[in-house]
A and B are shown apart, each in its own frame.
Chain A
Amino acid sequence: MTESGGSAETAGLTAATARAHSPETSAARARRWGSFYFAEQVLRVMWGYAWSILMYSVGQPVAYLFAMGVGLATLVDAESAGVFGGVSYLTFIAPALLVSAAVMTAANEFTFPVMAGFKWRRTYYGPHASPLAPEQIAAGHIMAVTLRFLVQSAIYFGAVALFGASPAGWGWVSVLVATVAGLSFGLPLMAYSASIKDDKGQFALVMRFIVMPLFLFSGTFFPLDTLPLAVRWIGWISPIWHGTELGRVFTYGYQEPPLLTVVHVVVLVALAVLGWFLTKRQFVKRMGQ
């Protein structure tokens, strides 16, 4: 703390405390770092329920891996060895569980909090009156959630590795794959959330009619080509399928045509990029009204 010299010009109200830097400095810093400043806010709020995030991040994989790996897998492996490309059933589903967990987190973090930001709590409008720009507020929100994806997927992957379900050395890359898959599903959803003026239960519908079918029909629990063509397309457009197949390449060296691997990466990144542009446009438009 430095003395302000008691200048009558200070907006310092009672005590002689340090002075704020100039508005020009504030603006320059906000232009450069604004997204990080808002990410800091979102993380502080998350910190308030860090315990439940942690329990979710640890509890969910342990429960799934135990049920599938010890329960179901025992049956599946005994009856149909070889169907899953020569790996154990647990190894087959582990990348899918990892990606699905990130996508489900995305379905939470990019829906209700966005609605709260624009409408219920109007928390986006506080920073909007500060030097931050709407696109920085969107970016900050995304950065904080991305960090959550990373931490949660890393914990999940740790559990997968402990269960011996990631035999290949590049398995850790599946953490990044899950994070990107979370964004490629989450960012288009965020753009949609930002466009909603009134909550009429749309998010519950998204959970039931988009997230659940994607979870079930994306080659998660059985290979996609065992499904009839009539529903197989769900997998082709699903970030969960692209993420899962890509994850399998890294966790157990799943053999697929190299071109398909490239397609997975392109689809995941393209959806995320498209989602980001739509989100940005929606934030700028809605906040500028």
Chain B
Amino acid sequence: MHNKAIVSSNPLADHPAKQQAVIAAKDLRKTYGDVAAVDGISFSVPAGESFGLLGPNGAGKSTTMKMIGAVTQRTSGELSIMGLDPDSHGPEVRAHLGVVPQQDNLDEELKVRDNLLVYGRYFGLPMSYLRPKADELLEFAQLTDKAKSKVDALSGGMKRRLTIARSLINEPRILLLDEPTTGLDPQARHILWDRLFRLKEQGVTLILTTHYMDEAEQLCDRLIVVDKGRIMAEGSPAQLIREHSTREVLELRFGSERNGTIGAELQGIGERLELLPDRVLIYAHDGEAALEEVSSRGLRPLTSLVRRSSLEDVFLRLTGRSLVD
């Protein structure tokens, strides 16, 4: 398929970061029966950006990813990837992408290196290209010494890295990652983030869903907060925190019995108060000052912690969940 639109929007053309969107969605909707999994979302992603979809389980992130990945057709709205409509140009769109699905779907009956070779064949890539490429990707995924192992024998983190290596076999300029580190231990997550960061440095466009706020802060240049199929906010992590939260947060624990009733006594401290079942959050520009105020009212929390605001706070604020003030 040679299409002018592809050529003109191809990020391989020598234009730095500011070219037109590689992915553009407008009023994108997907319904299953009466349920709207994705309910009219619009965004666009320029080449080279790391773009995140942040939201809880069931927010519509994975459905959006499947539509971008040209494996599920949208119900309505517009969507283009590299200037192509995924509904009519499925194979062409998928040929541009690398995909890391939420659930690993490696070929457990094949050896580690063979997984890469077989996957490359789906793109019609010749063995003369695939053999050295597979070795290079195993190196990148720190799996060289596992090349001849069965996939079964790998740990969760290794399988995840192999899935990422597999997604890179066709040298995609866009990588879709659906909850890449869910279920991994902290060390495995950090290794993975490091690998993803290297790809980002090479100019690969990353589209990433996560419900880990720290992951979004680590990897995303810009993100949308999604809840119930709709976009609640959009911006860089820092921007979102600035707009929707205070600089610092004071976390207090008064014990599960008092957490719920202490609200009245804390009224007026900081800018906003959030009563959660296990703790109380006080949003304030200066957390230490807020803590002093709490003490001066004669309140003695069991534990107290002053921290910077995170995307978690933004999310709490935006979705209105557990918001009691």
A residues near B (Cβ < 8 Å) are 1, 8-15, 17-21, 23-31, 33-34, 37-38, 40-41, 44-45, 48, 121-123, 125-133, 287-289
Q: How far is the CA of A275 from the CA of B14 in the complex (A)?
A: 50
CB pair B171 A20 closer than 8 Å = yes
Q: How far is the CA of A133 from the CA of B86 in the complex (A)?
A: 12
User: What A residues does B96 contact at CB under 8 A?
Assistant: 23
User: What A residues does B69 contact at CB under 8 A?
Assistant: 129
CB pair A9 B1 closer than 8 Å = no
Chain B interface main SS type: loop
Closest B residue to A126 using CB positions: B105
B181 within 8 A of A: no
CB pair A27 B136 closer than 8 Å = no
Closest A residue to B132 using CB positions: A17
With known contacts A18-B129, A24-B95, A28-B1, A37–B121 Cβ distance under 8 A:
yes
Distance from A120 Cβ to chain B, minimum over Cβ atoms (Å): 10
User: What A residues does B272 contact at CB under 8 A?
Assistant: none
Show 16 residue pairs from A and B whose CB-CB distance is below 8 angstroms, ordered by the A residue.
Answer: A11-B199, A12-B136, A13-B137, A13-B198, A14-B140, A20-B129, A23-B82, A23-B170, A24-B95, A28-B1, A30-B122, A126-B105, A126-B119, A127-B122, A129-B71, A133-B90
Distance from B58 Cβ to chain A, minimum over Cβ atoms (Å): 16
Closest A residue to B100 using CB positions: A129
With known contacts A13-B137, A24-B6, A126-B106, A131–B94 Cβ distance under 8 A:
yes
With known contacts A18-B133, A27-B92, A30-B124, A44–B170 Cβ distance under 8 A:
no
B residues near A (Cβ < 8 Å) are 1-3, 6, 12, 14, 69, 71-73, 82, 89-92, 94-97, 99, 101, 103, 105-110, 114, 118-119, 121-125, 128-129, 132-133, 136-137, 139-140, 166, 168-173, 198-199, 202-204
User: What B residues does A289 contact at CB under 8 A?
Assistant: 72
Q: How far is the CA of A37 from the CA of B119 in the complex (A)?
A: 9
CB pair A131 B1 closer than 8 Å = no
Distance from B194 Cβ to chain A, minimum over Cβ atoms (Å): 13
CB pair B105 A123 closer than 8 Å = yes
Closest B residue to A18 using CB positions: B129
Distance from B206 Cβ to chain A, minimum over Cβ atoms (Å): 12
CB pair B105 A122 closer than 8 Å = yes
User: What A residues does B171 contact at CB under 8 A?
Assistant: 10-12, 19-20
CB pair A13 B92 closer than 8 Å = no
CB pair A25 B124 closer than 8 Å = yes
CB pair B140 A13 closer than 8 Å = yes
With known contacts A24-B92, A27-B1, A30-B123, A44–B114 Cβ distance under 8 A:
yes
Distance from A113 Cβ to chain B, minimum over Cβ atoms (Å): 10
Q: How far is the CA of A33 from the CA of B173 in the complex (A)?
A: 24
Closest B residue to A289 using CB positions: B72
Determine which of A18, A29, A40, A287 lies in contact with B123 in the assembled complex, contact meaning CB atoms within 8 Å.
A29
CB pair B109 A45 closer than 8 Å = yes
Closest B residue to A1 using CB positions: B132
Distance from B93 Cβ to chain A, minimum over Cβ atoms (Å): 8
User: What B residues does A17 contact at CB under 8 A?
Assistant: 129, 132-133, 136
Q: How far is the CA of A41 from the CA of B116 in the complex (A)?
A: 11
CB pair A130 B94 closer than 8 Å = yes
Distance from B138 Cβ to chain A, minimum over Cβ atoms (Å): 11
CB pair A21 B107 closer than 8 Å = no
Distance from B123 Cβ to chain A, minimum over Cβ atoms (Å): 4
Q: How far is the CA of A130 from the CA of B108 in the complex (A)?
A: 18
CB pair B136 A30 closer than 8 Å = no
Most buried by A among B103, B123, B129: B123
